Amino acid sequence: MEEEALGEDYPMEIHEYLAAFEGSLDSLEDMLNCMMSVSRSDLQKLDPLEQAKLDLVSAYTLNSLFWVYLITQGVNPKEHPVKQELDRIRTYMNKVKEAAEKKKGPTSKLDKAAASRFIKSALWEPKSDETPSREHSRHKKRKS
């Protein structure tokens, strides 16, 4: 009986897609409820970089949802100002990412080849074609 009613509203071929979409919406609702339950004072305890990340993810999520809404209404979101807003948010996300990498310090971008050359030049290695050092050969001459 339920399948017959569903078949009248939309083609049965898309039933699995709609079920997956409904599951995604339920997950999204759970996450948003969790996020909305956090108090402002708890959010202010985050360091500025973490606050910026949270704000950007929130803005990106809301604009992405609006993008999906536009599609459901038959509007091309690529021709809507929401596209520029998403691009602007992505730009700031990249800036925050760069700031986070700088905060980690120079070790986060270690040039392994340069480090290897530096260490190799700092260490003394006898050349394979050379005989023992001059100092060693002088001692042998004096003893004879």
pLDDT in tens, 85-114: 999 999 999 999 999 988 887 654 567 787
Q: How many CA atoms lie within 13 A of 138 on its CB side?
A: 3
Q: To the nearest 10°, the Cα dihedral for 101, 107, 113, 117?
A: 150
The answer to whether 111 touches 57, Cβ cutoff 8 Å, is no
**Is 50 exceeded by the pLDDT of residue 5?**
no
Q: How far apart are CA 73 and CA 69, in angstroms?
A: 6
Mean pLDDT on 63-72: 94
Q: What is the pLDDT of residue 7?
A: 46
Q: How far apart are CA 95 and CA 86, in angstroms?
A: 14
Residue, of 46 and 114, whose pLDDT is higher:
46
Residue, of 36 and 8, whose pLDDT is higher:
36
